[in-house]
Structure 1
Amino acid sequence: MPKRINVKGAIVSSDIGWIYELFDIEHTSPKLIADQITDANGEDLEVIINSGGGEVYAASEIYTDLKSYDGNVETRIVGLAASAASVIAMAGDKVMIAPTAEIMIHNASMISRGDHREMGKTAHMLQNTDKTIANAYRLKSGMEEKELLELMGEETWLTPQDALEKGFVDEIMFDNEIKLSASNGEANLIPQEVIDGIRQGKLNKVPGKTKQAIDKETVKQMFVDFKQEILNELKLNNNQSNEPKPSAPTQNKRKGFIF
């Protein structure tokens, strides 16, 4: 029986995966996939995909690990394979799609600032990135780069039949009538400013560390303390009457938890 690997939620780099874990946000990182590939030890892989995408280079690393795997790899698009997730889907020796699923491909994008020279460099870099992404589609479908770049430029949504006709997938699962799924294709990514704030220590109410970097264990402990405060308040409320109560003394701490 093949080993099942899930590619779900936002595609993120391994160094920030722990932040998503703190918030219980579904995500996929190269390390998560690499660890499971190692555990598979040559067994066949069944990769289940339902993701709105995320970081290009993280997806490229996952794609490369799957393509390099010695055993057979079957990728199954069960919901949405959008953006970076569509690249990962192309890594399968066999690519399957559910009759209710979709693939979305588009150009790479990023936030940048600077003068006209910097903007020109950014534009050139994005064009090159689009070409590298198109390579994954080209190797699977056999389509020409020019046509793929045009489809990406238009932000193209592919139904299972479209994907099969263009060579993005090898088979439509269950061979049932297609029912289009509804999705905006947006990855559930944590805003970069929040990630930077956590990594750089820009959190309030941390004794002795107001202007210092806060490590992973400190943030985790803050979450434990935060949850315990809520449980204590609930216990206190349950033991008291329904008369009006003053605000809990820890209320302001929670309000300013993240910058």
Structure 2
Amino acid sequence: MKTIQMKGEVIPDDYSDVYDWLNYQYFSPQSISDALTKANGEDITLEINSPGGYIDAGSEIYTELMEYQGKINAKIVGYACSAASWIALAADHVAMSPTAQMMIHRASGGAIGNSSDMKSEYNALDQMDKSFVNLYAKRTGKSPNEIYQMMVDTTWMNAKTAVENGFADEVMFENKEPALVNADGSLSVKPEMINKIKNLLHRDSNLGKKTNDVSKPIENKEEQPKKSKKNDFALLLWS
């Protein structure tokens, strides 16, 4: 049985170069699609430790898993929050470490513009909430009203509570003594940072396309210290 790692944040494919450069853990629709292709219909295990992430990327991954022909087992070894919670529920069987956590909440976003723009954003978030309510209700057997209230309350569940509420099927290592864990569900790279980092990442390749004037004499023979890309990155973030 193959194991697919789902560690870190759920991100769109287009953000992967930024996360690679920053050496942050992530998984994306393409990375999961590639892993499923290699599994070739064999039974698989999803090893999950994720704070969640972007809804559109999570939806792609959920759909890919639901369409997979082999049996899927999910092991939540750290935490499965937000988008990662319903990605986990695409599995046929969900097991949680006794120290793991699952969290569900309402969709969130933001809008800038006039009252029509605000109304459109409200409608989008409301429709997302209804989708998640339906998904959780179908899996757990709870009523949509119960699920919606849990989302409103931003409900955290340990392994035992998740099993009692129908979000997980079993607690791993029930006869062993658990250890304590901590969790933080914030995203490491904010959306507004992505373009700034991309400009920095691809700056060198763009400079390489320019024609250099080799006829000019070198004014200063002392080699100037090279600037660190990560120092440039820090300046960009604060600009």
TM-score using structure 2 length: 0.84
| Counterparts of 1:40 and 1:71, CA distance in 2 | 9
Query: What is aligned with 1:73?
Result: 72
Question: 1:250 aligned to 2:226?
Answer: yes
Cα distance change, pair 255–175 in 1 and its aligned pair in 2 (3 A): closer
Aligned equivalents of 2:171, 2:228: Cα separation in 1: 53
Aligned partner of 2:63 in structure 1 is: 64
| 2:45 maps to 1:46 | yes
Q: Specify the alignment match of 1:185 in structure 2.
A: 185
Within 5 Å, give how 1:159-178 maps onto structure 2: 159-176=158-175
Deviations 1:62-108 (A, max 9, x none): 11111111111001100000011111110110011001101011111
1:193-216 CA distances to partner (integer Å, 9 max, x unpaired)?
A: 2212244x3x4xx9xxxxxxx48x
Q: Any conservation in 1 of the 2:53–2:82 contact (CA below 8 Å)?
A: yes
Rounded Cα–Cα distance in structure 1 between residues aligned with 2:61 and 2:226: 43
Partner AA of 1:101 in structure 2: A
Quick one: distance in 2 between partners of 1:111 and 1:128? 15
| Contact kept? 2:106, 2:129, Cα under 8 Å | yes
Q: Is contact 2:110-2:121 (8 Å) kept?
A: no
Contact 1:10 1:52 in 2 (8 A): yes
Q: Which residue of 2 aligns with 1:111?
A: 110
Q: Distance in 1 between matches of 2:15 and 2:174?
A: 39
Residue 218 of structure 1: aligned partner: 205
In structure 1, the partner of 2:97 is 98
Q: Deviations over 1:88-133 (max 9, x none)?
A: 1101100110011010111111132112221122112101111112
Q: Which residue does the alignment assign to 1:135?
A: 134
State the partner residue of 2:215: none
- Alpha-carbon deviations, 1:234-255, whole Å to 9, x = none? xxxxxxxxxxxxx963248764
Contact 1:9/1:187 (8 A) holds in 2: no
CA distance in 1, matches of 2:178, 2:32: 30
Which amino acid in the other structure matches residue 12 of structure 2?
Answer: S
Gaps of 5+ in 2: 209-222
Report the alpha carbon displacement of residue 180 of structure 1 after superposing the two structures with TM: 5.2
Runs (5+) with no aligned partner, structure 1: 207-213, 222-246
User: What is the CA-CA distance between 1:17 and the residue it aligns to?
Assistant: 1.2
Relative to structure 1, the CA distance from residue 178 to residue 128 in structure 2 (aligned partners, 3 Å threshold; closer, same or farther) is farther
Change (3 A) 1:58 1:252: closer
Change (3 A) 1:158 1:254: closer
**How high is the TM-score relative to the length of structure 1?**
0.77
CA contact (8 A) 2:98 2:178 kept: yes
Secondary structure at 1:136's aligned position in 2? helix
Percent of paired sites with the same residue: 37
Q: Distance in 2 between matches of 1:12 and 1:252?
A: 26
Task: Supply the distance in 2 between the matched residues of 1:102 and 1:180 (Cα, whole angstroms).
Answer: 11
In structure 1, what residue type is equivalent to 2:127?
Answer: N
Between the aligned partners of 1:254 and 1:89, the Cα distance in structure 2 is: 35
- Between 102-111 and 127-136, the greater mean CA deviation after superposition: 127-136
User: Structure 1 pair 147/256, CA: closer, same or farther in 2 (3 Å)?
Assistant: same
Residue identity opposite 2:185 in structure 1 = G
RMSD: 2.5
Alpha-carbon separation, structure 2, partners of 1:4 and 1:254: 33
Secondary structure, counterpart of 1:175 in structure 2: coil
Aligned mates of 1:87, 1:93 — CA distance in 2: 12
User: Structure 1's 218 and 135: CA in aligned 2 closer, same or farther, altered over 3 A?
Assistant: farther
